Amino acid sequence: MARMTTWTITPEAPGSPVAAALWRAYYTEVSDRWYLLHEGHRTDPAELEREIAAATGAELAPPHGQLLVGRYDGTPAGSAGVRLLDAQTAELTRVFVAEGMRGRGGAALLVAAAEDAARALGARRLVLDTRGDLVEARALYARLGYTETGPHNADRYAEHWFRKELVPVN
């Protein structure tokens, strides 16, 4: 009899060991990709440690945010966060699936759970930013109904901005 392996997605405290490990994996990957593309080397370890420590994720905690962790067959394998920017707009951030767990549908499930969390916070739309080299992310957001739009922030690394109107779920 074949065993069914599934994703479960649950809220997680941004400071938990699981959230910290996923944040480290996410930040290391996106930082290394940027440095390799633009400067031909990986992130300086001291800079990596400073940036990881500086971004605690506190803005992803209730009552104005939510961090979600996806577990594949019980193993922490991905994350997604939302935080309110104003009463009707939330930002989608920290969408990540660990390299060995990609291609199993987790990213779409994490984004859908983040959309539900944003609705629960009162948001009517989600916005996000990403970089040009993160082509997988841009393809995911387009596939999930996000529309590329003008900038909503001045983040140094943001090159593409997306938006999605959240349809209320009855």
pLDDT tens for each residue of 7-41: 999 999 999 999 999 999 999 999 998 899 888 98
Burial class (CB in 10 A: 0-12, 13-18, 19+), 160: middle
Tokens of 101: 């767990």
Please report which confidence band the pLDDT of residue 170 belongs to, taking 50, 70 and 90 as the band edges. low
Confidence (pLDDT) at 167 = 84
Confidence (pLDDT) at 3 = 55
Confidence (pLDDT) at 8 = 96
92 and 81 Cβ atoms separated by less than 8 Å:
yes
Residue 165 has phi, psi (to 5 degrees) of -80, 130
Q: Under DSSP, is residue 96 helix (H, G, I), strand (E, B) or coil?
A: strand
- pTM for the model stands at 0.91
Indicate whether 4 pLDDT > 70. no
More confident: 162 or 49? 162
